[in-house]
Amino acid sequence: MHDFFRFWWELLALNWRKTRFRRRGGKSPCQAPSDSGKAGETACEACSLWDDKKRFRRVCPLLVATPDGWRCSVDAADVRPFWRRAVAYYAAVLAGVYLLATLLAFIAFRAIGYPVSYAAVIWPPAWSNFHVVRSHYFLAQGKRALVGNRVREASIAFGLAYELDPRNYDAGIALAQLWQSGLPIQSDRVYQQLLASNPADASDTARRWAQALLWRGDFVQLSALALNRLQAASEPASSWVHALIFSARRLREPSVLNRALALPQLTSETRSILRLESAALSGDPDATAHVLAAPLTDQASAYARYYQINFLIRSGHGDRALALLATYGAKVSPDERVALTLDALAQQGRTADLRREASALLTANQQPQIYTLLATHLVRYPDTALLRIVTDRLAAQPWVNEPSGLAANAALLCAAGVDNQAALVGVLRARLRHVTGAPMRELDRAEELLRLRNAPRQWGNFLPALPMLPLDTVYAFFERDTARNRRQPIQPSTKPMNTAP
């Protein structure tokens, strides 16, 4: 054991003395001064206290065994240091200690749960990215907390993950979505940061932010976001044109549309639609409706056709809307055709035809989207008898208590709330809790709310508690508030819609 410690000391001390001897001269620092100083005759004083002198050769290979014992193999003048040997030994030890330390650190990190590789632990330049590893660790913690319905814990974990690495898009978007109901200002700030710092994910960020703003009814910010995305011109514009028009209607502000008209990125068709809507909001509905009453050309977009038919229904001309639907045929998507047909029949008061159409749909198609379409219609146009038909059919579906049925159950819960059907709200709320496994405490006041005189209007306050709602259902809620202000019927015209810039 003594030799072990002497070895590490002499690697430095003896080589230092030898180096100084080579530079300054004088007596040899390691040979016995009483000997001749000649090779093979002179004893090594440096190893005199070693228990096993053979071990000393690892410090100085000049020591050799002779019949007279261990002697120095060079003359005193040729004594020299062996720094390379010293450096090699110390480097090997340091490397071993480093490898052991990094291995223990790696084991500790993996035991904690950090998703780190041994290469990242052993390579110092990779340490600068350790905050990214920690960020992903907290992201995984947040996801596990969400699965266990520990929302507060998930919020803290996502917050730490995003703070450690603002480029962690998954953490940022999860945090923004968790905060959008209880902490809307902070949520909007995160969405704005994500939009600026993650251009590759800008479309997804904007879509999620738009849904949050719509759910909260923040149409000022929604119109600003829609304007921003139209200016970016990096994705299909129809959804943002619709969001902009819807916001302008809710705000009753034609200026929102006029700002968009100044954008050079817009197509001539989009400009035409925005001008028509601006004119309607400015109090000139007859002129715009006369133009919209004529069929569009084959070059028109799907959104232009939807806008035209929807505008006619809002203007009180469901009959003309149905005629245009028949004219366009397959140019209108099946889901839009169903929704527009139901709304047009309801606007005309053709209750019997409406219920026959709904029953035929339920018989022909058992998929959840038919129920969400019908529920969305019932939010716009409450009909107790039809609501009962739809909910009875829903209860018999095999997927009613599965995740695939969440949207349909949530949409019908809203339709029941708008129609003041307290018992039905209770049934659907219990079903949602069963399917999600979440308490959904925000809906605990549902029955109390239904006893209020203005319950249908206040029912929209629960929208943030139902993130599984289809987007069209949310739009339908806010359309209800403007239903009283829908325009009087106008006289249709055969004049074609102007699509010039």
pLDDT band at 166 (very low <50, low <70, confident <90, very high): confident
Residue 288 pLDDT? 61
Chain segment 213-264, per-residue pLDDT in tens = 988 888 999 999 999 899 887 666 888 999 999 999 988 888 889 899 988 8
Cα distance between residue 352 and residue 75, in whole Å = 121
pLDDT band at 494 (very low <50, low <70, confident <90, very high): very low
CB 313 within 8 A of CB 305: no
Distances (CA, A) of 137 to 142, 143, 162: 9, 10, 11
Q: Where are the domains of the chain?
A: 2-81, 361-485
Please provide residue 150's backbone torsions phi and psi, each rounded to the nearest 5 degrees. Answer: -95, 80
Query: At what angle are helices 471-481 and 406-418 packed, to 10 degrees?
Result: 10
Residue 459 pLDDT? 60
Cα distance between residue 407 and residue 413, in whole Å = 10
Nearest to 421 by CA among 442, 392, 450, 396: 450
pLDDT band at 449 (very low <50, low <70, confident <90, very high): low
Write the DSSP symbol of residue 402.
S
Mean pLDDT of all residues belonging to the chain: 83
Q: What is the mean pLDDT of residues 38-48?
A: 86
- Of 24-33, 111-120, 172-181, 197-206, the range with the lowest mean pLDDT is 111-120
CB 338 within 8 A of CB 354: no
Q: What is the mean pLDDT of residues 175-184?
A: 85
Handedness of CA 281, 283, 289, 290 (dihedral sign): negative
pLDDT band at 394 (very low <50, low <70, confident <90, very high): very high
In 45-82, which positions are buried (b, 16+ CB within 10 angstroms) versus exposed (e)? bbbeebeebeebeebbebbeeeeeebbbebbbeebebb
Please provide residue 18's backbone torsions phi and psi, each rounded to the nearest 5 degrees. Answer: -65, -40
Cα distance between residue 310 and residue 48, in whole Å = 105
How many CB atoms neighbour CB 397 within 10 A?
Answer: 17
Q: What is the mean pLDDT of residues 121-135?
A: 75
Q: Burial, 455: exposed, middle or buried (Cβ in 10 Å; 0-12, 13-18, 19+)?
A: middle
Amino acid (one-letter) located at 452: L
Cα distance between residue 68 and residue 71, in whole Å = 8
* Lookup result for tokens 């939807």: 306
* Structure tokens given for 468: 């599984």
Task: For the chain, report the end-to-end CA distance as a whole number of angstroms.
Answer: 94
Cα distance between residue 78 and residue 422, in whole Å = 105
Cα distance between residue 178 and residue 373, in whole Å = 27
How many CB atoms neighbour CB 29 within 10 A?
Answer: 20
Assign 297 to helix, strand or coil.
coil
Cα distance between residue 493 and residue 286, in whole Å = 10
* Structure tokens given for 428: 């659907």
Bridging pattern class, strands 63-66 and 69-72: antiparallel
Residue 130 pLDDT? 75
CB 196 within 8 A of CB 166: no
- Give bridge partners of residue 44 from the DSSP assignment: 31
Q: What is the DSSP string of 66-116?
A: ETTEEEESS-GGG----HHHHHHHHHHHHHHHHHHHHHHHHHHHHHHT---
Please provide residue 398's backbone torsions phi and psi, each rounded to the nearest 5 degrees. Answer: -70, -20
In 99-135, which positions are buried (b, 16+ CB within 10 angstroms) versus exposed (e)? eeebeeebeebeeeebebeeebbbeeeeeeeeebbbb
Cα distance between residue 215 and residue 460, in whole Å = 9
Percent of all residues in the chain with a pLDDT value above 90, rounded to a whole number:
26
